[in-house]
Amino acid sequence: MEHHSNIVPWQILCEQTGAILRVIPIDDTGEIILEEYKKLLNERTKIVSIVHVSNTLGTINPVKKITEMAHEVGAVVMIDGAQAIQHFAVDVQEIGCDFYAFSGHKLYAPTGIGVLYGKRKLLEAMKPYQGGGDMILSVSFEKTTYNELPHKFEAGTPNISGAIGLGIAINYIHTLGLEQIAIYEDELLKYTTTILSEIQQLKIIGTSKQKSSVVSFVIDGIHPHDIGTMLDRDGIAVRAGHHCTQPLMKRFGIPATTRASISFYNTSAEIDALAVGLKKIIRMFE
Ligand SMILES: Cc1ncc(COP(=O)(O)O)c(C=O)c1O
């Protein structure tokens, strides 16, 4: 269920190191099959990298359990939190993961900046991945020594304006309160699921028990791009396509979905408008 950004870097790493990429299967509801995951784990497993919340299905993965299981075989765990941090409170120490990453623009900050959390011991053991100004303590032609964390990994002039924007976005989210955001969005997600399930021709893709803030769906005989374009004319913004999760589309045997993404600024009246818009489109295609 991974976004391409949690597939392609590992494929590059596999090419460089000869490592093998193995994929945890999911069931028809869009949940990780934990027994299959267990079978994939052994002492040769180096890294487990998994999405916290699927951007296409909305599945919330049991990341704490997944981390514990990985640690039992000595693997390091990396979690892609791009779709989690804006929807509910995340505690990396409680999860126990070794790395946790998210993009700023998913929590209303500017693009081009994000956060990588890592356990100090691991980050200290890692070599810099980029060289440049500020990531050094001293440089000579004979030998360069590297700066302390986090500077070791922040070569060159940083994205200063991005960092200021990200800080303000995080403060904004905290002013609203992640607990309140989660409660409100959960209600709206339930409401959306109920309303859309009443449309006979519509099938929701991603029906896991633990779910957050997106409803992906397909409608028989109507391409998601047509649905997206027509809803747009009614002033309704949805996303249509493979959502950068092509292997997931293959898993479900579909080319694309239409996805309604729910945030704290949405209302149940907007969901009603979405349902009206969809019914209109279905009638047009009949
Ligand atoms: C789950 C998930 N992971 C990763 C990304 C990639 O984020 P970025 O485009 O900032 O690299 C996205 C967003 O597109 C996402 O939804």
From the candidates 244, 249, 254, 273, give the one annotated as an active-site residue. Answer: 244
**Is the minimum distance from the CB of 2 to ligand 1 under 6 angstroms?**
no
> Band of the pLDDT at 7, cuts 50, 70, 90?
very high
Per DSSP bridges, beta strands 136-139 and 144-146 are antiparallel
Same domain, 99 and 240: no
Q: What is the CATH number of the domain that holds 111?
A: 3.40.640.10
The stretch 186-209 carries a mean pLDDT of: 98
Arithmetic mean of pLDDT, 119-124: 97
- Tokens representing residue 144 in the block: 């360069």
**Residue 9, preceding bond cis, omega within 30 degrees?**
no
Same domain for 157 and 29, yes or no, is: yes
Average pLDDT value over all residues in the chain = 97
Q: What pLDDT was estimated at residue 181?
A: 97
Q: Cα–Cα distance between 235 and 94 in angstroms, integer?
A: 41
Active site residue 244: yes
Computed over its alpha carbons, how large is the radius of gyration of the chain?
21
Domain boundary among 135, 155, 176: 176
Q: Measured between alpha carbons, how far is 37 from 69 in angstroms, rounded to an integer?
A: 9
Say yes or no: CB of residue 83 within 6 Å of ligand 1.
yes
- Asked whether residue 205 falls in the same domain as residue 234, the answer is yes
- Structural domain boundaries enclosing 222: 178-285
Compute the distance between CA of residue 84 and CA of residue 15 in angstroms, rounded to an integer: 30
Ligand 1: distance of its center to the CA of 239 in Å?
A: 14
Instruction: Tell me, yes or no, whether 96 and 201 share the same domain.
Output: no
Instruction: Name the DSSP class of 263.
Output: -
Residues 10 and 88 in one domain: yes
Cβ neighbours for 199, distance < 8 A, ≥ 6 positions apart = 219, 275, 278, 279, 282
d(CA 152, CA 276) in angstroms, rounded, equals: 53
> What's the whole-model pTM score?
0.96
Proportion of the chain in helix, strand, coil states, percent, rounded to 5: 40, 20, 40
CA 206 to chain centre: 14
Confidence band for 213, pLDDT divided at 50, 70 and 90: confident
CB 74 within 8 A of CB 43: yes
- Do 147 and 190 have their domain in common? no
Domain count for the chain: 2
Question: What residue owns the CA closest to ligand 1's atom 2?
Answer: 82
Q: Sorting pLDDT into bands at 50, 70 and 90, what band is 24?
A: very high
pLDDT at residue 246 in the model = 98
- CB pairs under 8 A, 24+ apart, for 186-193? 186/212, 188/262, 188/266, 188/267, 188/268, 188/271, 189/58, 189/213, 189/215, 189/262, 191/268, 191/271, 192/260, 192/262, 192/271, 192/274
